[in-house]
């Protein structure tokens, strides 16, 4: 440890810390903008400038290590003026249309402009925005790059590289024409984007965002001829509250369902239900592969970011991928067939909407084979963020909503369905069912080796006297490392869960954006995951095959896992 002072007060801090870390740990506020811990630590915005006694120039707190006897000033007039000037410079190229910006409530840039009272200066600069110099891309139907909001901090470029293991985004052009976007190529698709949305989660402004479907959803909600059926993904309830001021890790499941009622939707379903259904289809597929000697390892197929990565970068592994559609698409298919039939609705009058923590789900809904007779099984996908905005736009007082729970068809779930949204959850859910079928007796519920935020988790379970090697991998970077190793390793894996996002869906690219400071302060992934594991613990039934409505669905409609009907509705093909 070393002894330092900050603004005259003494602190004993770790010698490996930067000034920013030491200050933050001791509750001294230093602003930051381009800094995102472990992702982007380049010191190019100079918003975290501080004064060190005895040194001539101000130093970036994010990059300067503390040392014995260091006296640091974070807030005298010179520091304040410098930070203000650095912020003001960034306003020159920013298009201030805050009223319609996806980050209207949590823009890190706007927050700093307010904190530093940049309002006067900014009004003089407002007219300087020049449309000609900006880059805009929205033709992929999933996400938008809008450089008129970009402050060139570089956080997205690093997030794509470090978290996805890809390098889709680059700084292009020079001078005041510099913009961030895919290099050389014209579209994100061509550049190999998997739509994980890690870049959106890293952006401090609204320069990167999902393609918004709020207006389309509002339109169908107003249309009396439409039956609006909504499904909600497991992970949404673990993060939606953040958009309404709840601490990270608050379970808002009850209010989430009540908000849907307040919006006037006709039927609420739970993707947790089809998560249970997925386990029966995928578990059966795994048992079939065990009987027939492979192909191994079998890969889970529910995360569309992961499926995009596999199809584009590792097509040689496509035979390993389970043929199961994701729970979102299984629900969509059932809504437009089984449910429509049961309710006597024409599927063409049903609008099926899903609320997802993910932007890649928007593309998944439009994949070939995800509908029939000219309609899509899932018509609109709203991210958790869009859902929160919709609730706010409709004037719903979320914090004062009562709790409610849907009891409709396809809304009942077991604990296994709930944990799908956290890394390792799909594997644990599958093991709960598969082990019981193989052992033909009651087997344990918890597979704790599958939990936690470690990049790659592995375990061996002995089932029916045979060693089954399983692994759980999440995030593009870890996925690439795992698959590269798989090409040469002697180890025989049997079953591997992959998720496109680190932490799984709870940390999906459509979840509320967590500011850089909160990302430093909280273990966001662990807190959100804990919501799902607590929901799991509360359930009376915690194994997917115990779900009585899944059993009923097989009895009345699908017959059995992998029946002809199941294949038609619940399974899919991949692009080579
Ligand atoms: Fe997921 Fe899934 S868990 S992919 O992470 O299998 O998005 O939450 O809905 O479909 O159930 C996401 C979450 C989600 C699917 C399920
Ligand atoms: Fe990169 Fe993912 Fe963003 Fe695409 S969505 S640019 S892969 S971080």
pLDDT, tens digit (0-9, with 9 covering 90-100), for 502-560:
999 999 999 999 999 999 999 999 999 999 999 999 999 999 999 999 999 999 999 99
Please report, rounded to a whole number, the percentage of residues in the chain having pLDDT higher than 70. Answer: 98
Asked if 525 and 531 touch (Cβ cutoff 8 Å), the reply is no
Kindly state the average pLDDT of the residues 359-366: 98
The whole-angstrom separation of Cα 116 and Cα 405 is: 44
Distance from Cα 353 to the centre of ligand 1, integer Å: 14
pLDDT at 130: 66
**What token pair was written down for 391?**
């609730």
Kindly state the average pLDDT of the residues 141-170: 96
Question: Taking 80 as the threshold, does the pLDDT of residue 124 lie above it?
Answer: no
The whole-angstrom separation of Cα 287 and Cα 225 is: 44
Ligand 2 binding residues, C-beta < 6 A: 159-160, 164, 166, 168-169, 193-199
Using the 8-state DSSP alphabet, how is residue 462 labeled? E
Residue labelled with tokens 């059932």: 334
**Lowest-pLDDT range of 77-81, 88-92, 130-134, 226-230:** 130-134
CA distances from 169 to 42, 176, 310, 375, 463 (A): 17, 18, 19, 34, 45
Kindly state the average pLDDT of the residues 361-377: 96
Residue 428 — φ and ψ, nearest 5°? -60, -45
Kindly report the three-state secondary structure assignment for every residue of 169-204.
EEEECCHHHCEEEECCCCCCCCCCCCCCCHHHHHCC
The 8 Å CB, 24+ separation contacts for 479-487 are: 479/165, 479/306, 479/309, 480/165, 480/309, 480/313, 481/165, 481/455, 481/456, 482/456, 483/314, 483/317, 486/297, 486/317
Asked if 421 and 233 touch (Cβ cutoff 8 Å), the reply is yes
Q: How many CB atoms lie within 10 A of CB 241?
A: 23
**What token pair was written down for 511?**
């979840």
Distance from Cα 508 to the centre of ligand 2, integer Å: 12
The whole-angstrom separation of Cα 529 and Cα 420 is: 10
The whole-angstrom separation of Cα 490 and Cα 178 is: 47
Question: Taking 90 as the threshold, does the pLDDT of residue 32 lie above it?
Answer: yes
**What token pair was written down for 240?**
């939606």
CA pseudo-torsion sign 234, 239, 244, 247: positive
Fold of 216-570: Rossmann fold (3.40.50)
Confidence band of 408 (pLDDT split at 50, 70, 90): confident
pLDDT at 175: 82
Please report, rounded to a whole number, the percentage of residues in the chain having pLDDT higher than 90. Answer: 92
pLDDT at 391: 98
Residue labelled with tokens 């000219």: 374
Asked if 330 and 554 touch (Cβ cutoff 8 Å), the reply is no
The whole-angstrom separation of Cα 63 and Cα 340 is: 59
**What token pair was written down for 344?**
């006597």
pLDDT at 128: 57
**What token pair was written down for 155?**
């956080």
Question: Taking 60 as the threshold, does the pLDDT of residue 93 lie above it?
Answer: yes
- CA 330 to chain CA centroid, nearest Å: 20
- Report which protein residue has its CA nearest ligand 2's atom 8: 160
Asked if 472 and 427 touch (Cβ cutoff 8 Å), the reply is yes
- Report which protein residue has its CA nearest ligand 1's atom 5: 505
CA distances from 74 to 55, 453, 564 (A): 14, 34, 68
| Half-sphere exposure (Cβ direction) of 242: Cα atoms closer than 13 Å | 25
Ramachandran region, residue 129 (left: φ > 0; alpha: ψ -120 to 50; beta: rest): beta
Distance from Cα 484 to the centre of ligand 2, integer Å: 20
Stated as kind and residue range, the H or E segment containing 145 is: strand 143-146
Stated as kind and residue range, the H or E segment containing 470 is: strand 466-474
List b or e across 369-406, with b for residues whose CB sees 16 or more CB atoms inside 10 angstroms.
Answer: ebbeeeebbbbbbbbbbbbbbbbeeeebebeebeebeb
- Report which protein residue has its CA nearest ligand 1's atom 14: 233
Class of the 131-211 domain? alpha beta
pLDDT at 409: 76
Alpha helices, DSSP H, located in 101-185: 108-115, 119-125, 155-163
The whole-angstrom separation of Cα 478 and Cα 460 is: 20
The whole-angstrom separation of Cα 448 and Cα 404 is: 30
- Our mutation pick for probing the ligand 2 site, out of 191, 192, 197, 201, counting the most ligand atoms within 8 A of Cβ, is 197
**Lowest-pLDDT range of 121-130, 209-218, 417-426:** 121-130
- Report which protein residue has its CA nearest ligand 2's atom 4: 193
Domain ranges of the chain: 2-91, 131-211, 216-570
pLDDT at 407: 81
**CATH topology match: 131-211 vs 216-570:** no
Residue 455 — φ and ψ, nearest 5°? -55, -45
- Report which protein residue has its CA nearest ligand 2's atom 2: 196
Question: Taking 70 as the threshold, does the pLDDT of residue 121 lie above it?
Answer: no
Question: Taking 80 as the threshold, does the pLDDT of residue 119 lie above it?
Answer: no
Q: Among 3.40.50.10490, 1.10.287.70, 3.40.50.720, 3.10.20.740, what is the CATH number of 2-91?
A: 3.10.20.740
Query: Ligand 1 atom closest to Cα of 274?
Result: 11
The whole-angstrom separation of Cα 151 and Cα 112 is: 13
Ligand 1 binding residues, C-beta < 6 A: 233-235, 271, 275, 302-303, 326-328, 356-358, 361, 420-421, 504-505, 508
Using the 8-state DSSP alphabet, how is residue 466 labeled? E
The whole-angstrom separation of Cα 113 and Cα 109 is: 6
What is the average pLDDT score of the chain? 95
Distance from Cα 504 to the centre of ligand 1, integer Å: 9
What is the reported pTM? 0.96
SS3 301: coil
Confidence band of 136 (pLDDT split at 50, 70, 90): very high
Helices 253-263 and 384-393, axial angle in degrees (round to 10): 50
């Amino acid at each position: 440890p070393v002894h330092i002072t900050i603004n005259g007060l003494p602190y004993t801090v770790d010698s490996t810390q930067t000034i920013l870390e030491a200050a933050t740990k001791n509750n001294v506020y230093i602003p930051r903008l381009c800094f995102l811990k472990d992702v982007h630590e380049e010191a190019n915005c100079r918003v975290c400038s501080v004064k060190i006694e005895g040194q001539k120039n101000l130093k970036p707190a994010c990059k300067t290590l503390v040392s014995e006897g260091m006296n640091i000033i974070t807030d005298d007039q010179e520091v304040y003026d410098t930070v203000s000037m650095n912020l003001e410079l960034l306003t020159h190229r920013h298009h201030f249309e805050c009223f319609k910006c996806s980050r209207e409530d949590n823009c890190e840039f706007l927050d700093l402009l307010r904190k530093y009272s940049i309002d006067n200066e900014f009004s003089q600069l407002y007219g300087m925005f020049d449309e000609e110099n900006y880059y805009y891309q929205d033709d992929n139907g999933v996400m938008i790059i809008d450089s008129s909001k970009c402050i060139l901090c570089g956080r997205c470029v690093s997030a794509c590289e470090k978290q996805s293991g890809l390098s889709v985004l680059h700084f292009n052009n020079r001078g005041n024409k510099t913009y961030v976007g895919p290099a050389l190529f014209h579209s994100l698709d061509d550049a190999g984007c998997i739509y994980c949305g890690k870049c959106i989660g890293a952006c401090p402004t609204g320069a990167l965002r999902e393609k918004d479907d709020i207006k389309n959803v509002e339109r169908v909600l107003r249309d009396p001829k439409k039956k609006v059926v909504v499904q909600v993904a497991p992970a949404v309830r673990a993060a939606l509250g953040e958009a309404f001021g709840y601490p990270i890790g608050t379970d808002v499941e009850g209010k989430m369902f009540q908000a849907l009622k307040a919006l006037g939707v006709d039927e609420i379903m739970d993707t947790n239900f089809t998560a249970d259904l997925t386990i029966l289809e995928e578990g059966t597929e795994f048992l079939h592969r065990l009987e027939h000697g492979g192909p191994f390892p079998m890969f889970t197929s529910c995360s569309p970011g992961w499926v995009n990565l596999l199809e584009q970068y590792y097509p040689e592994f496509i035979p390993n991928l389970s043929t199961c559609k994701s729970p979102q698409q299984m629900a969509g298919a059932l809504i437009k067939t089984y449910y429509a039939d049961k309710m006597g609705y024409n599927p063409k009058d049903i609008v099926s909407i899903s609320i997802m923590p993910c932007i890649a789900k928007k593309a998944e809904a439009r994949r070939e084979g995800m509908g029939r007779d000219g309609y899509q099984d899932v018509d609109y996908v709203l991210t958790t963020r869009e859902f929160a905005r919709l609730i706010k736009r409709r004037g719903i007082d979320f914090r004062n909503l009562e709790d409610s729970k849907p009891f409709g068809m396809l809304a009942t779930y077991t604990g296994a369905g709930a944990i799908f949204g956290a890394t390792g959850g799909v594997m644990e859910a599958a093991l709960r069912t598969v082990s019981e079928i193989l052992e033909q007796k009651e087997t344990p519920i918890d597979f704790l080796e599958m939990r936690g935020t470690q990049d790659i988790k592995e375990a061996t379970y002995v089932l029916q006297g045979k060693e089954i090697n399983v692994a759980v991998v999440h995030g593009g970077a870890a996925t690439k490392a795992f698959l590269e190793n798989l090409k040469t390793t002697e180890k025989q894996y049997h079953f591997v869960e992959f998720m496109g996002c680190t932490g799984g869906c709870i940390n999906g690219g459509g979840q509320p954006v967590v500011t850089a400071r909160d990302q430093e302060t909280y273990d966001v992934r662990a807190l959100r995951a804990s919501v799902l594991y607590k929901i799991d613990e509360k359930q009376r039934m915690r194994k997917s095959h115990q779900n009585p409505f899944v059993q009923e669905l097989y009895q009345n409609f699908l017959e059995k896992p992998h029946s002809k009907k199941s294949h038609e509705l619940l399974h899919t093909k991949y692009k080579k």
